[in-house]
Amino acid sequence: MKLVLPSFLQGLFAAAHPTPMSNQPQRSKMMEYDQPLVWVTFLLMLFGLVMVYSASISLPDSPKYANYKNTHFLMRQAIFIGVSIFSGLFVFRVPIQTWQRLAPYLFVGTLILLVLVLIPGVGKGVNGAKRWLSFKAFNLQPSELMKLFVVLYAADYTVRKQQFMHALTKGFMPMAVAVGMVGLLLLLEPDLGAFGVIVCIAMGILFLGGINGMWFGGISAILAGIFSLVIVLSPWRRERIFAYLNPWTEENTLGKAYQLSQSLIAFGRGEIFGVGLGGSVQKLHYLPEAHTDFLLAVIGEELGLVGVLIVVASFYWIIKRAFEIGRQAIAIDLTFSGLVAKGIGIWIGVQAFINMGVNLGLLPTKGLTLPLMSYGGSGVLINCIGLAILLRIDYENRILMRGGRL
């Protein structure tokens, strides 16, 4: 069955670029844009909206959220999704060439925002971490912006330095210094999870761009050592790792491994088909941050293994499609577009994997949200913008394969 978007959405997508005139009697049957990708993204956000409501409906029963209505997080998430969709439609109209030209400036601008977060009185702190800039009506998390803009910057850098990619000093080191500056600022927040995602994005794009394999392996080993050293030198991170390794002792279950143990209990209760939508017990103030970092645990409890597998399959399809679009772009000599598409796939894939791994006890607890689904304005907005850029890359590929011009 063919899926057709509402007419007003079709009009907005079609307005992004006029269809080139053709002298052929029949118009190509190729779609103007990737409708399945639009639908999977849209349905994931709607699914996330329902689960955010389910996970947050009981929060006003606690003193911390006593002044909130039961629909507080539902309404805010719905607004976030609406703003994100229209922002994505606007971004879709921007040619990829423009993003390539702006990439260095966007990277530097976000670097400045990361500095502002650390200034007392400017950055907003929550639970001991300063990661937000408050603009009264909404909070902006610069680290979310950096995930997207490091994709653009790394792709642009790789294209500009293509002839030096096998050299350490001229090829890798300048990019390493840039990512190192980002990492230092993120560790001061602290936000080791975001830093890990950004490092994976940058390294992935450099690898795809042709960096020397020996240098890549050596640098990966050094980065692994740096992350291990950060954990060893940080007492609370070290305690969290030990608790993760043995979460069922009484001390850990009631302490550093509390979230992990409650998350695993939620998955255990859900079994194959779940306890039913809205029937979660763990969200009743047992599992902290159920509507943000641990949304997948609520899905597992209420919808069971089936619900979790649907989420996993949806993200797998998006990642696979991103790499297909990237390969297609590179095949028609759009190297920057191809690297950006694959970089977006790496970004979404790594963040989703870390969030799912944390929820399932495969990875130590980190404060990373599930893309497109978890509660949060900055995350959903930037995810939508990134996928809109991916759609634009696919759109330009289709125009060129028809024989048109950009």
Q: How many CA atoms lie within 13 A of 240 on its CB side?
A: 17
Bridge partners, 132 (sequence order): 124
Contacts of 317 (CB under 8 A, 6+ apart): 40
Pairing outcome for strands 129-134 and 139-140? antiparallel
What CA–CA distances, in Å, run from 270 to 279, 293, 404?
A: 10, 18, 52
| Tens digit of each residue's pLDDT, the chain (406 residues) | 445 555 545 554 555 555 544 444 455 555 677 899 999 999 999 999 999 999 999 999 888 888 889 999 999 999 999 999 999 999 999 999 999 999 999 999 999 999 998 888 787 776 667 777 877 767 888 999 999 999 999 999 999 988 877 777 777 788 888 888 998 898 888 888 888 899 999 999 988 887 767 777 777 787 778 778 877 777 777 777 878 888 888 888 888 889 999 999 999 999 999 999 999 999 998 998 899 999 999 999 999 999 999 999 999 999 999 999 999 999 999 999 999 999 999 999 999 999 999 999 888 888 789 999 999 888 999 999 999 999 999 999 999 998 888 7
Q: Compute the radius of gyration of the chain from its Cα atoms.
A: 22
Contacts of 40 (CB under 8 A, 6+ apart): 314, 317, 318
Q: What does the block give as tokens for 163?
A: 């002839």
3-state secondary structure 336-350: HHHHHHHHHHHHHHH
Contacts of 128 (CB under 8 A, 6+ apart): none
Q: What is the pTM of this model?
A: 0.89
Answer whether the bond into residue 247 is a cis peptide, omega within 30°.
Answer: no
Contacts of 234 (CB under 8 A, 6+ apart): none
Distance CA 100, CA 67 (A): 46
Q: What is the DSSP letter of 163?
A: G
Contacts of 138 (CB under 8 A, 6+ apart): 377
Distance CA 141, CA 274 (A): 34
352, 370 contact by CB (below 8 A) = yes
Domain boundaries, the chain: 43-93+247-397, 103-233
pLDDT of residue 10: 56
By three-state DSSP, how is residue 4 classified?
coil
Q: Report DSSP letters for 61-116, one per residue.
A: GSGGGTTS-TTHHHHHHHHHHHHHHHHHHHHHTS-HHHHHHHHHHHHHHHHHHHHH
